[in-house]
C-alpha cells in the first residue's frame, strides 16, 4: 500500500490536504465533496488528535482498479476471471520476519478517530480487513466489516449474515471459544481486492492474493495471535471475538445512504496494535465511490462468472449506481437472449440485485444515463420491462422494502441492429478543446 500511495503521489494524481482537519465529520466532508468532482485519491497530512496521516478514495476509481489487475481494455470482470483461472503461485510465501524492528506498538486511541456521519454512534474503522482462520480446517479468510470504537480494549463489529467470517465465529462460539482475528489497515492492494472477491467457503482469499501478486508476499507472525499477516501492512489490530457476548452497536450510515439502527452485535477484544514506522491510516466513507467500487468488484464479477458459464454473448457487467442494480452488456445471439440474461442475473445473489438492465455492446454500462437512454430509444416501454413479485431481498430487511425484482431489456429488437446505429461526429472524442478556446 505504501508503494502504491507513493506511486500516486509521484504521478501527481493524489490530492493533498496540508491543513489540519478534524476527524469528526470534517475529514469525511472533505472526502465526500472531493469525490463529487474527482476520482482522485486524497492524503490528509494532519488529523487532529493523531500523529498518523490518513488516505482515502484510493480504490474509488474503476480505471485504477483495472490498472491494478492489468485490465487494459477496461473490462475488469473478464480480466479478473482470467486471473482466477491461472495456474501457478497459489499462496503467498511466508517469510521468517520474526522480529518487529520496523514496527512500533500503539494504542487504539492513537489511531485517527473518524466519525463519518451526523448520527453515527461514534468513531468507526471502515477500511479494516479481518484475517481469520476457519476453526476446523484452518482456511484463511479476508473480509471487510465495520468496527465501532469503544475503548483501547474493545471494538464492536457488525458481521453480516452471509459472510464466511460470521460462520467462523459461530463455529468457535458453538465450542465456547473466542475466534482470533487480525484487522489489517493498509495491507498490500492485492489483499484489499481479495477481501472483496467472492470465492467458495472452502477456498482461501490468500490464494487469490497469490494469483494477483504473481509472487510470494512477505508475511510476519502476529505478536498476540497464532496468525501471520502481510509484513507490509501499515497497521495491524490483533484481537478476538468474544463468545456469547453481544453489545449495542450503531447507528451508522451504511452504503445505501441510510442509517442502520442500533443493535446488539459482536464484541472484539483488542489485544494489541502494531504499525509500521511512518504508517498511513486508510479511511473509507461508506457509500462513497471507493466503497461502491469495491462492492461492485465483488458482485459484478460474481454475476459475470455465472452468466459467462451458462449463456453466450456475455461481454461485461457493472453495478450502477450500486450493487442493488446490475447492468449486463451482451452481444445478442437470438430472440429472447436478453430476457434469459435478465432471469439468470437476478438469481445470482439473493441479498442484492434488486433490478437488472441488459444493453447492447455499444452502450457504456458505467454510465446510467447511457443505459437508460438505450431503454428509452430502442423499443417499447411496456413489453420490455417485467417484475418478479415477492422475492426476498436484502438480508437486513424485516419490512420487506427490498423484496421483488425489476428487469429491463434495453437492447435493440433482435434482427434490427442496423435500424439503431448510433449517430457520431468524426473527431469529437479525440480533439482537445484547449486548442480551440482561449
Lowest mean pLDDT among 70-84, 364-378, 400-414, 416-430: 70-84
Backbone angles phi, psi at 111, to 5 degrees: -75, 155
**H-type helices in 40-151, by residue range?**
62-69, 76-85
What pLDDT is attached to residue 89? 46
C-alpha cell at position 65:
482498479
Residue with the larger pLDDT of the pair 352 and 238: 238
- Average pLDDT on 28-51 reads 97
| 88 band by pLDDT with thresholds 50, 70 and 90 | very low
Name residues whose C-beta falls within 8 Å of residue 158's C-beta, 6 or more positions apart in sequence.
145, 146, 249, 250, 252, 260, 263, 265, 266
| Residue 179: HSE in the Cβ half-sphere, 13 Å Cα cutoff | 33
- Average pLDDT on 254-282 reads 95
pLDDT at 241 over 70: yes
pLDDT at 95 over 70: no
Instruction: Identify whether the C-beta of residue 124 lies closer than 8 Å to the C-beta of residue 185.
Output: no
Residue with cell 471507493: 290
| 214 band by pLDDT with thresholds 50, 70 and 90 | confident
| Range 371-390 burial, b when 16+ CB lie within 10 A, else e | bebbbeebbeeeebeeeeee
Instruction: Identify whether the C-beta of residue 359 lies closer than 8 Å to the C-beta of residue 411.
Output: yes
**Per the omega criterion (within 30 degrees of 0), is the bond before 321 cis?**
yes
Name residues whose C-beta falls within 8 Å of residue 147's C-beta, 6 or more positions apart in sequence.
124, 125, 126, 128, 155, 156, 157, 183, 268
Whole-number percent of the chain with pLDDT over 90: 83
Whole-number percent of the chain with pLDDT over 70: 96
- Average pLDDT on 3-28 reads 97
Angle at 128 between CA 54 and CA 149, to 5 degrees: 85
**Per the omega criterion (within 30 degrees of 0), is the bond before 49 cis?**
no
Domains, the chain, ordered by start: 1-58 (no CATH), 89-279 (2.30.110.10), 290-415 (3.40.1670.10)
Instruction: Identify whether the C-beta of residue 285 lies closer than 8 Å to the C-beta of residue 56.
Output: yes
- Average pLDDT on 183-208 reads 91
Q: Report the alpha-carbon distance of residue 163 to residue 167 in Å, rounded.
A: 7
Q: Report the alpha-carbon distance of residue 438 to residue 407 in Å, rounded.
A: 47
Angle at 280 between CA 274 and CA 281, to 5 degrees: 80
pLDDT at 86 over 80: no
Q: Report the alpha-carbon distance of residue 163 to residue 170 in Å, rounded.
A: 11
Instruction: Identify whether the C-beta of residue 65 lies closer than 8 Å to the C-beta of residue 59.
Output: yes
| Range 392-409 burial, b when 16+ CB lie within 10 A, else e | ebbebeeeeebeebebbb
C-alpha cell at position 117:
456521519
What pLDDT is attached to residue 100? 52
| C-alpha to C-alpha distances, 421 to 363, 374, 418, nearest whole angstrom | 11, 12, 6
Mean pLDDT of the chain, nearest integer:
93
Angle at 282 between CA 277 and CA 287, to 5 degrees: 175
DSSP 134-191: -TTT--EEEEE--EEEEETTEEEE---TTSHHHHHHHHHHHTT-PEEEEEEES--HHH
What pLDDT is attached to residue 199? 84
pLDDT at 383 over 80: yes
pLDDT at 395 over 80: no
pLDDT per position as a tens digit, 296-347: 988 999 999 999 999 999 999 999 999 999 999 999 999 999 999 999 999 9
C-alpha cell at position 95:
517469510
Amino acid at each position: 500500500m505504501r508503494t502504491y500511495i507513493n506511486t500516486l503521489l509521484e504521478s501527481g494524481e493524489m490530492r493533498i490536504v496540508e491543513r489540519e482537519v478534524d476527524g469528526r465529520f470534517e475529514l469525511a466532508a472533505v472526502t465526500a465533496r472531493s469525490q463529487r468532482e474527482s476520482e482522485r485519491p486524497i492524503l490528509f497530512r494532519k488529523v487532529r488528535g493523531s500523529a498518523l496521516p490518513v488516505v482515502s478514495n484510493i480504490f474509488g476509481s474503476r480505471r485504477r482498479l483495472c490498472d491494478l489487475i492489468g485490465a487494459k481494455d477496461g473490462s475488469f470482470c473478464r480480466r479478473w476471471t482470467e486471473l482466477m483461472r491461472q495456474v501457478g503461485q497459489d499462496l503467498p510465501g511466508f517469510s521468517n520476519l520474526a522480529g518487529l524492528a520496523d514496527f512500533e506498538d500503539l494504542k487504539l486511541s492513537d489511531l485517527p478517530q473518524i466519525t463519518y456521519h451526523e448520527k453515527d454512534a461514534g468513531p468507526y474503522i471502515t477500511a479494516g480487513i479481518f484475517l481469520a482462520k476457519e476453526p476446523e480446517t484452518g482456511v484463511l479468510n479476508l473480509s471487510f466489516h465495520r468496527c465501532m470504537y469503544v475503548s483501547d480494549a474493545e471494538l464492536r463489529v457488525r458481521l453480516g449474515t452471509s459472510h464466511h467470517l460470521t460462520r467462523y465465529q459461530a463455529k468457535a462460539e458453538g465450542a465456547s471459544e473466542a475466534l482470533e482475528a487480525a484487522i489489517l489497515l493498509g495491507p498490500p492492494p492485492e489483499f484489499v481486492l481479495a477481501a472483496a472477491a467472492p470465492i467458495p467457503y472452502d477456498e482461501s482469499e490468500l490464494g487469490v492474493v497469490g494469483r494477483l501478486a504473481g509472487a510470494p508476499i512477505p508475511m510476519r507472525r502476529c505478536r498476540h495471535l497464532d496468525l501471520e499477516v502481510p509484513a507490509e501492512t501499515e497497521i495491524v489490530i490483533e484481537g478476538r471475538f468474544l463468545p456469547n457476548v453481544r453489545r449495542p452497536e450503531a447507528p451508522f450510515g451504511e452504503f445505501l445512504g441510510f442509517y442502520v439502527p442500533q443493535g446488539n452485535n459482536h464484541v472484539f477484544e483488542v489485544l494489541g496494535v502494531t504499525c509500521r514506522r511512518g504508517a498511513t491510516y486508510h479511511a473509507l466513507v461508506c457509500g462513497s465511490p471507493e466503497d461502491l467500487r469495491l462492492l461492485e468488484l465483488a458482485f459484478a464479477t460474481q454475476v459475470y462468472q455465472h452468466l459467462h458459464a451458462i449463456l453466450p454473448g456475455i461481454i461485461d457487467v457493472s453495478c450502477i449506481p450500486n450493487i442493488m442494480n446490475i447492468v449486463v452488456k451482451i452481444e445478442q445471439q437470438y430472440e429472447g437472449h436478453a430476457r434469459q440474461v435478465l432471469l439468470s442475473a437476478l438469481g445470482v445473489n439473493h441479498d442484492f440485485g434488486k433490478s437488472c438492465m441488459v444493453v447492447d455492446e455499444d452502450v457504456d454500462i458505467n454510465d446510467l444515463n447511457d443505459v437508460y437512454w438505450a431503454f428509452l430509444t430502442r423499443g417499447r416501454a411496456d413489453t420490455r420491462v417485467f417484475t418478479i413479485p415477492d422475492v426476498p431481498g436484502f438480508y437486513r430487511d424485516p419490512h420487506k422494502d427490498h423484496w421483488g425484482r425489476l428487469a429491463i431489456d434495453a437492447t435493440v429488437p433482435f434482427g434490427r441492429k442496423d435500424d439503431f446505429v448510433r449517430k457520431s461526429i468524426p473527431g469529437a472524442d479525440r480533439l482537445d478543446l484547449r486548442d480551440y478556446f482561449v
